[in-house]
Amino acid sequence: MIIILKQGVTAEEKNNIKKTLKEKGFIVKEIIGKEDTVLGAVGTVQVDPRSIEILDGVSSVVPISKPYKLASRELKKEDTIVSVRNVKIGGSRIAVIAGPCAVESEDQIMRIAEKVREAGAVILRGGAFKPRTSPYSFQGLGEEGLKYLRKAGDAFDMPVTTEIVSPKDVELMKGYIDMFQIGARNMQNFELLKEVGKTGMPVLLKRGLSATIEEWLMAAEYLMASGTDQVVLCERGIRTFEKATRNTLDCSAIPVVQKLTHLPVIGDPSHATGIRDMVSPMALALIAGGASGVMVEVHDHPEKALSDGPQSLYPEQFERLMRDIEALAPVVGKAVEKTPRRIPEAMKEDYKAEEGSRSSDTVAFQGERGAFSELVIRRTFNEDQTVLPCKEFKDVFDAVAKGKAKYGVIPIENTIGGTIYENLDLLNVEGNITVVGEAQLRVIHNLIVNPGVKMEDIKRVYSHPQGLAQCREFLSENLPDAAQIPFYDTSGAVKYIKENRMMDAAAIAGDAAAAHYGLEILKPSIETNPKNYTRFYVISRSENAEFFRSAGKINRASMTFSTPDKPGSLFVVLDILQKHGLNMKKLESRPILGKPWEYSFFVETELEDRHDLDSIIPLLKENTVTFRILGTYTAAH
Ligand code: PEP
Ligand code: MN
Residues 133-175 pLDDT 10s:
899 999 999 999 999 999 999 999 999 999 999 999 999 999 9
The pLDDT of residue 345 is 52
- Virtual torsion, Cα 457, 458, 460, 465, nearest 10 deg: 170
The pLDDT of residue 551 is 60
Q: Is the CB of 498 under 6 A from ligand 1?
A: no
pLDDT level of residue 547 (50, 70, 90 thresholds): low
- Best mutation site among 206, 250, 282 for ligand 1, i.e. most ligand atoms within 8 A of its Cβ? 206
CA of 551 relative to ligand 2 center, distance in Å: 30
C-beta separation of 343 from 550 below 8 A? yes
Give just the sign of the alpha carbon dihedral 385, 97, 206, 225: negative
Q: How far apart are CA 547 and CA 254, in angstroms?
A: 35
Q: Is the CB of 127 under 6 A from ligand 1?
A: yes
The pLDDT of residue 359 is 38
In the predicted structure, residue 355 carries a pLDDT above the cut 90:
no
Identify the residue whose C-alpha is closest to ligand 1 atom 1: 101
Angle subtended by helix axes 315-328 and 276-288, to nearest 10 = 20
Nearest ligand (C-alpha, residue 267): 1
The pLDDT of residue 615 is 86
Environment of ion ligand 2 (residues, CB < 5 A): 101, 308
What is the average pLDDT across 248-274? 98
pLDDT level of residue 351 (50, 70, 90 thresholds): very low
pLDDT level of residue 565 (50, 70, 90 thresholds): confident
Contacts of 598 (CB under 8 A, 6+ apart): 562, 565, 591, 592
What is the average pLDDT across 210-233? 97
- Best mutation site among 124, 129, 181 for ligand 1, i.e. most ligand atoms within 8 A of its Cβ? 181
The pLDDT of residue 613 is 86
CA of 140 relative to ligand 2 center, distance in Å: 11
Q: Which of 78-87, 335-344, 581-590 has the lowest mean pLDDT?
A: 335-344
User: Phi and psi for 78 in degrees, rounded to 5?
Assistant: -80, 150
Return the ligand 1 atom nearest residue 131 CA: 5
The pLDDT of residue 548 is 67
pLDDT level of residue 549 (50, 70, 90 thresholds): low
The pLDDT of residue 37 is 87
What is the average pLDDT across 257-274? 98
For residue 310, give the DSSP letter: G
What is the average pLDDT across 324-353? 71
From first CA to last CA, the distance across the chain in angstroms is 46
What is the average pLDDT across 193-218? 98
The pLDDT of residue 133 is 87
Q: Is the CB of 271 under 6 A from ligand 1?
A: yes
Q: Which of these, 231, 228, 301, lies nearest to 261 by C-alpha position?
A: 231
Q: How far apart are CA 498 and CA 520, in angstroms?
A: 10
Identify the residue whose C-alpha is closest to ligand 1 atom 4: 183
The pLDDT of residue 360 is 47
CA of 431 relative to ligand 1 center, distance in Å: 54
In the chain, the percentage of residues whose pLDDT exceeds 90 is: 80
Q: How far apart are CA 148 and CA 145, in angstroms?
A: 5
pLDDT level of residue 46 (50, 70, 90 thresholds): confident
The pLDDT of residue 614 is 85
Would the pTM count as exceeding 0.85? no
Given phi > 0 = left and psi -120 to 50 = alpha, else beta, which region is 315?
A: alpha
What is the average pLDDT across 65-78? 93
The pLDDT of residue 159 is 97
Which one from 534, 624, 632, 634 is the annotated catalytic residue?
534
Nearest ligand (C-alpha, residue 305): 2
In the chain, the percentage of residues whose pLDDT exceeds 70 is: 95
In the predicted structure, residue 257 carries a pLDDT above the cut 90:
yes
Is 397 tagged catalytic? Answer: no
Given phi > 0 = left and psi -120 to 50 = alpha, else beta, which region is 132?
A: beta
Identify the residue whose C-alpha is closest to ligand 1 atom 9: 184
Looking at every residue in the chain, the average pLDDT score rounds to 92
CA distances to 62, 116, 365, 489, 492 from 462, in Å: 37, 47, 21, 9, 9
pLDDT level of residue 550 (50, 70, 90 thresholds): low
In the predicted structure, residue 574 carries a pLDDT above the cut 50:
yes
Q: How far apart are CA 198 and CA 191, in angstroms?
A: 11
Nearest ligand (C-alpha, residue 272): 1
Identify the residue whose C-alpha is closest to ligand 1 atom 6: 183
CA of 317 relative to ligand 2 center, distance in Å: 17
The pLDDT of residue 343 is 45
What is the average pLDDT across 255-276? 98
Instruction: Give bridge partners of residue 89 from the DSSP assignment.
Output: 82
Q: Is the CB of 183 under 6 A from ligand 1?
A: yes
In the predicted structure, residue 546 carries a pLDDT above the cut 80:
no
CA of 102 relative to ligand 2 center, distance in Å: 7
CA of 327 relative to ligand 2 center, distance in Å: 27
CA of 175 relative to ligand 2 center, distance in Å: 23
Is 536 tagged catalytic? Answer: yes
More confident call, 202 vs 551:
202
